[in-house]
Structures are given as C-alpha cells and as structure tokens.
Chains A and B, each alone.
Chain A
C-alpha cells in the first residue's frame, strides 16, 4: 500500500516544495507573500518528518511530534511577523520588500 510509493517520492515532493518555497521567498515582492512562502517551506519539512516517521520509525512518534511543534511555532512566527509587518506598514505605508531598504551598506 503506502510502501508501494517509496520514501523517495515523498522526499522529492518535499524537496520540490521546499525549494518552491525558497523561490517564493526570493522573488515575491510582498512581505506577506514571502511569509506564505515560508509556510510552504515549513510544510515541506513536515511532510518529511511524517513520512520518515511512518516509513522507518513507527515505534515512536518523534517525527509526528516534531511536525506538530513545527506547526505551532509556525503559527507564532506568523503572528509576530504579521504584527511587525503591520507596524511597518503603518510607518511607511507599503509592504513591498524592495522598498524596505532604509538601512544599507
């Protein structure tokens, strides 16, 4: 059943997802979309954890819990990030990442 799929498929999936997320982080101009890309990255990681847990180490739930905590932390991260983004938006009226470059060199 699930063993027909093979761990490689899961990993390729997660890897692709991971790098799609990274790509998004690198090119999206909007701070919030960058944040969304981060979520993609974290999800990719979660898939890995869960798949490994299922495939090789079913005797305990380490991967599962790891994924759970990652979700929780992702939530806090998003919360704080959004708070900061909004605070920034109030100051400079934009959330275009390319305009957030008051400090440089």
Chain B
C-alpha cells in the first residue's frame, strides 16, 4: 500500500516538477508547483509526519503559492505565454543538471546505507511541542526564537521595499 502510494506520489512529484520548470504558461507552472507540494505533503503523510504535512500544505500550498500567484497577477498577464528559453541555454543547463544528478545518484547508490532501522517516529503533537520548546539537546527553542526574529526582519524588509512612495 505505502509502496504503491510512494511510487504514485513520487511519479507525481517528478512529473509536475518537470512541468513546473517547463510549462510556458506561468500560472500553470504555479499550479503544477502546487501539485508538487501537495504530493510532497503526501509523502510526509506516508512517512507518518502528519504535522509536517499539515505545515507543508498550509504554509507552502496555502501561503507561498498564493503569494506567488498574486505576484504573477501583478506582473504578468495570465494568458501570456513565456518565451521559450534559448536552445543553447537549455542544452548547457541540461548537461550541467544531468551531470549533477548522475554524479549525485551514483554516489548515493554506491553508498553503503545501513538497513532500515527506524521504528515508529514519535511525531505526535506532544512530542513536537516538547521538542520545539526544549532547550536541551534535540530541543528547538533557540531556532524557533531566532526564526521569529528572521520573520520580523524579513517582514519589515518586504514592507519597506514594497511600500509605494509616500508623495
């Protein structure tokens, strides 16, 4: 069951990823990206990280994609078709990415991964909550706090840039 699900999701991810980066209609690309993200959330479900899947759906699918779509609306016409990238550019990029992928995958395949040792991950809300606020090892209070600073700063930054001139 999970195996099948995995392959379905993986297939979805790959196909939609490819579509995301190749579709010439920008809005469609955004939608394909959404599918990729949802599929990834599906994978998280399969791996029993329900909370993360939820975060993925809300933040990514809900937040980021919406943001992206808004910005697309602001900057381009919906019907507009993107120019296809130059052949040379595509070819070079393909070569580089293919080479990268081949190298990485072959390295991965050569790596002697240990056997599956996982049991059930305790990704319950309680465990997540304790970890998130823990300040001992495997506690994530510090990053959690720091990221709030990041969010504040980034928000301010985004605001002062996006704000139109006041005159």
The count of residues in chain A whose C-beta lies closer than 8 Å to any C-beta of chain B is 72
Number of A-B residue pairs with CB-CB distance less than 8 Å in the complex they form: 232
Asked if residues B52 and A20 are in contact (CB atoms below 8 Å), the reply is no
Interface bracket on B:
35 or more
Beyond A12-B108, A21-B21, A61-B131, is A32–B71 a contact (Cβ under 8 Å)? yes
- A62-95 contacts to B, CB under 8 A, are 62, 64-65, 67-69, 71-80, 82-87, 89, 95
Q: B8 an interface residue at 8 Å Cβ cutoff?
A: no
Contact of B68 among A19, A40, A78 (CB under 8 A): A78
Asked if residues A61 and B121 are in contact (CB atoms below 8 Å), the reply is yes
Beyond A24-B20, A79-B67, A86-B74, is A64–B123 a contact (Cβ under 8 Å)? yes
Beyond A20-B14, A53-B121, is A69–B147 a contact (Cβ under 8 Å)? yes
Asked if residues B43 and A72 are in contact (CB atoms below 8 Å), the reply is no
Asked if residues A54 and B56 are in contact (CB atoms below 8 Å), the reply is no
Asked if residues B71 and A82 are in contact (CB atoms below 8 Å), the reply is yes
Asked if residues A61 and B138 are in contact (CB atoms below 8 Å), the reply is yes
Asked if residues B82 and A54 are in contact (CB atoms below 8 Å), the reply is no
Question: Least Cβ distance of A35 to chain B in Å?
Answer: 7
Q: A residues near B, CB below 8 A?
A: 1-9, 11-13, 15-24, 26-30, 32-33, 35-37, 39-40, 43, 46-47, 50-51, 53-58, 60-62, 64-65, 67-69, 71-80, 82-87, 89, 95-96
Task: Jot down 14 A-B pairs with beta carbons below 8 A, ordered by A.
Answer: A18-B104, A20-B97, A24-B20, A26-B93, A33-B20, A36-B68, A43-B60, A53-B47, A55-B117, A61-B128, A61-B131, A64-B52, A65-B132, A85-B75
